[in-house]
């Protein structure tokens, strides 16, 4: 069997190509983020906010935590009601929380939901718990029960 420089280079590049595909598959998509919010809004309506928020934060069946996707919920005053990546945030008022660029992103999400009822907010910068780095993120949010919002963020691919 004869190997050329071209075939050797191709064989060496294959693992790099597939590792990029694997990394992309480790991240949730915009469509998956939006679908998770729709499912979360339905749970709030069917089970009530208290049970739903507990499920979002503790995610016992994994329905509201998938790779880097998770539900977070806030009331319109900025109080964290549920947080699927960091339960320690629940109960804290984070309306003034700023990203490293000074963007008050929780306040921005709330204002967007108050005016449009649902939509995408971002980009803003946030710590990715999976990679332990600050990355650009945008979040899909919908109004929940009363003056609340439910969101799922997705990290933007590095360019």
59 in a domain, yes or no?
yes
Q: How many domains does the chain have?
A: 1
Q: What is the pLDDT of residue 151?
A: 98
Q: Is the Cβ–Cβ distance between 100 and 125 less than 8 Å? A: yes
135 in a domain, yes or no?
yes
- Mean pLDDT (the chain) is 87
Q: Is the Cβ–Cβ distance between 74 and 149 less than 8 Å? A: yes
CATH code for the domain in which residue 93 is found: 3.30.450.20
Domain range enclosing 144: 28-155
Q: What is the mean pLDDT of residues 44-63?
A: 92
15 in a domain, yes or no?
no
The structure tokens listed for 11 are 């064989």
6 in a domain, yes or no?
no
For 63-100, the pLDDT digits (tens) are 899 999 999 999 999 999 999 999 999 999 999 999 99
């Amino acid at each position: 069997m004869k190997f050329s420089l071209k075939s050797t280079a191709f064989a060496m590049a294959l693992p790099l190509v597939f590792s990029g595909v694997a990394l992309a598959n480790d991240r949730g998509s915009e469509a998956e983020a939006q679908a998770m919010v729709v499912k979360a809004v339905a749970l709030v309506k069917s089970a009530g906010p208290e049970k739903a928020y507990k499920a979002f934060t503790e995610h016992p069946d994994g329905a509201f935590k998938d790779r880097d996707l998770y539900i977070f919920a806030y009331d319109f005053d900025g109080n964290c009601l549920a947080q699927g990546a960091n339960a320690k945030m629940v109960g804290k008022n984070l309306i003034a929380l700023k990203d490293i660029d000074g963007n008050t992103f929780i306040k921005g999400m709330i204002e967007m939901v108050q005016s449009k009822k649902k939509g995408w907010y971002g980009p803003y910068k946030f710590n990715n718990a999976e990679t332990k780095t600050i990355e650009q993120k945008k979040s899909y949010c919908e109004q929940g029960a009363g003056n609340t919002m439910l969101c799922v963020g997705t990290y933007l691919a590095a360019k």
